[in-house]
Amino acid sequence: MSVTPDFIQNVEDGSCVLRFSGNLTLLRIRKLSEQLESVDAQDLTVDLSEVERMDTVGAWLVHKLQRDRGAKLVGASREQQVLIDHVAAADQPVKMQRDAPPALIRVVSQVGEWTNNFLSTMLGMLGFFGAMLISFGHIIRHPRRFRWNAVITRFEVVGVQALFIIGLMSFLVGIVIAQQGAVQLRQFGAEVYTINLIGRSSVKELGVLMTAIMVAGRSGSAFAAQLGSMKLNEEVDAMRTIGVSPMEALVVPRVLATVLMMPLLGFFAAMMAILGGGIFCWLSLDIPPVTFIQRIREVVPMTDLYQTLIKAPVFGMIVAMAGCYQGMQVEGNAEEVGRRTTTAVVQGIFLVIVLDAFFAVFFTEIGWL
């Protein structure tokens, strides 16, 4: 007895008899279905009396012969008949693929969808901002109900734990600026202006910008992923039904912590960049630290620091809001969490840079050169 499924083709009483034998199962279905393709006789009869074992795939094959080629079935045991009936009952036009529209329509609809998404995201963010302000007002009226512990925890995660990486990054950026600046300025014999370059660019722009980017990568993404998972897990819904506002419990502490930490981190980053630049000047350009610090005090106006301290909380707000907003938009599956997290970071950094350009124009206009 062979266990390989096989069939013998005979002509009996004017009809073509396919006598299957062995195991009619998924294991060998590939070969068998190819062989069956090549049978082109009409008026088929399928004989299952020598089949040892048949599974649903085998039954499907028999059912297809019956359905497509009008084969008659003989020699099926009761179990086999039940199985074939089962499979026949399950023969329904199941949709296997999504309907794909033509390419042109797809492109147009994608552009439309993208535009729609962009506008609705902007609108949604605005609405989110409004809802946050309302929650904030609520907290101011009932300060005892506010979760200070949550804010303090975020202080640590967003601020303290980011100190090392932000410090190191700024320090290195300071060295790079000093080095690149020195090479260019040397051509004019104005090497000493490297100090101006380091001082002003770090305090006014780079410190806070690099910090915002780092915070978006570290904390904005974390907010989106945390809130997204909570949303998937129905934790947010549970909170709502208990009567806890997710806005107050989840969003406001995160945004508040980021807003409060950003100026500190931005200032710290600026100082680290100056430190890096100073060390470079000392070692490479032979400018002693005392002179360096003296020059910094002379060339960096106080307004530069004010600019940083004004921009930092705004950037923090945008980064944290983008993270929380995207996190709260998660619906459906785990992939969505990843997608939303990416969007949160991209959106956060993009908005920060756009706003930074506006700030630059604004501060120039009011004379804070």
Q: Alpha-carbon distance 185 to 173, whole Å?
A: 18
**Residues near 259 by Cβ (< 8 Å), separated by ≥ 6?**
313, 316, 317, 320
- Report if residue 26 touches another protein, rule: CB under 8 A: yes
Beta strand residue intervals within the chain, DSSP E: 6-12, 15-24, 44-54, 72-74
Query: Can you tell me which residue has the tokens 């101011």?
Result: 140
- Report if residue 51 touches another protein, rule: CB under 8 A: no
User: Between residues 9 and 33, which has the closer beta carbon with respect to another protein?
Assistant: 33
Task: Identify the residue among 6, 27, 131, 282 touching another protein (CB under 8 A).
Answer: 27
- Report if residue 20 touches another protein, rule: CB under 8 A: no
* Nearest-approach distance from CB 229 to another protein, in angstroms: 13
- Report if residue 229 touches another protein, rule: CB under 8 A: no
Q: Count the residues of the shown chain that bind another protein, applying the rule CB under 8 A.
A: 36
User: Between residues 48 and 210, which has the closer beta carbon with respect to another protein?
Assistant: 48
Q: 301 is written with which tokens?
A: 């106006």
Task: Identify the residue among 6, 29, 73, 229 touching another protein (CB under 8 A).
Answer: 29
Task: Identify the residue among 9, 10, 109, 333 touching another protein (CB under 8 A).
Answer: 333
The number of C-alpha atoms within 13 Å of 147 and in the hemisphere containing its C-beta is 20
Closest CA to 228 of 337, 343, 338: 337
Nearest-Å Rg of the Cα atoms of the chain is 35
Q: 278 is written with which tokens?
A: 């100073």
Q: Alpha-carbon distance 352 to 365, whole Å?
A: 20
Query: Can you tell me which residue has the tokens 């084969």?
Result: 71
Q: 53 is written with which tokens?
A: 């074992």
Task: Identify the residue among 25, 219, 221, 341 touching another protein (CB under 8 A).
Answer: 25
- Report if residue 101 touches another protein, rule: CB under 8 A: no
- Report if residue 361 touches another protein, rule: CB under 8 A: no
What sign for the dihedral angle of Cα 29, 30, 35, 37? positive
- Report if residue 82 touches another protein, rule: CB under 8 A: yes
- Report if residue 94 touches another protein, rule: CB under 8 A: yes
User: Between residues 30 and 141, which has the closer beta carbon with respect to another protein?
Assistant: 30
Q: Alpha-carbon distance 47 to 107, whole Å?
A: 53
DSSP state, 244? -
User: Between residues 15 and 56, which has the closer beta carbon with respect to another protein?
Assistant: 56
User: Between residues 93 and 189, which has the closer beta carbon with respect to another protein?
Assistant: 93
- Report if residue 330 touches another protein, rule: CB under 8 A: no
- Report if residue 329 touches another protein, rule: CB under 8 A: no
Task: Identify the residue among 13, 40, 68, 79 touching another protein (CB under 8 A).
Answer: 79
Query: Can you tell me which residue has the tokens 């020699």?
Result: 75
DSSP-derived pairing of the beta strands 72-74 and 6-12: unpaired
User: Between residues 28 and 138, which has the closer beta carbon with respect to another protein?
Assistant: 28
Task: Identify the residue among 33, 49, 110, 342 touching another protein (CB under 8 A).
Answer: 33
Residue ranges that bind another protein, judged by CB under 8 A = 25-27, 29-30, 33-34, 52-53, 55-57, 60, 64, 79-80, 82-83, 86-87, 89-98, 331-336
